[in-house]
Amino acid sequence: MAEELKSLDDLKAAVPGEALAAEAEAPREPVRDKLGRSYATGKRKDAVARVWIKPGSGRVTVNGKDLDSYFARPVLQMILRQPFQVAGVVDQFDVMATVKGGGLSGQAGAVKHGISKALQLYEPGLRGALKAAGFLTRDSRVVERKKYGKRKARRSFQFSKR
């Protein structure tokens, strides 16, 4: 084992500050498989999405269906396109996603989270823009559980005077 440190001054002498700064600012390496794809898992509410991205023409496939047929509402399609617009790489990547659980809104949020994570793994230079937009953080809001003695999570039964 290394020598014992008796004070904070010994700790500063043992590890120079320049070495720590060099380690912290080491450039990130792209993470890609042998097919040239990046993989990430996105989550939102009860939905979990597995997302693969690779360079392409901007085709998005969710559970084997085209984006327009799976997410029919324009708002959900817009949610999926947000990471590409923020990163400035619109129509440069093909997306293949499988998503399970939750409803359509939660699934769209899960795919968006997965796309953002996969983009920053494929091209680490995009991390700053995606992080500033808040796309790399999992939205932890979930449905509150129902409590006993209540009609829903917080709603009480209707009061009856007689």
Give residue-wise pLDDT tens across range 17-54: 555 555 556 788 888 899 999 999 999 999 999 999 99
> Which pLDDT score is estimated for 20?
54
Task: Look at residues 70, 79, 139, 88 and name the one whose alpha carbon lies nearest to residue 111.
Answer: 79
Which single residue is written with the structure tokens 């499988």?
98
Which residues, 6+ apart, have CB-to-CB distance to 99 below 8 Å? 47, 48, 49, 50, 62, 63, 107, 110, 111
CB atoms within 10 A of CB 63: 13
* 2-27 average pLDDT score: 65
Please name every residue paired with 66 in a beta bridge, in sequence order, or none if there are none.
61
Phi first, then psi: give them for residue 39, nearest 5 degrees.
Answer: -120, 140
> Which token pair is 82?
């947000």
Pairing of strands 93-100, 60-62: parallel
> Which token pair is 87?
């990163």
The matching CATH number, chosen from 3.30.230.10, 3.65.10.10, 3.40.30.10, 3.40.50.300, for 37-126 is: 3.30.230.10
> Which pLDDT score is estimated for 79?
94
Give residue-wise pLDDT tens across range 120-138: 999 999 999 999 999 999 9
Contact 107, 156 (CB under 8 A): no
Flag whether the pTM goes above 0.75: yes
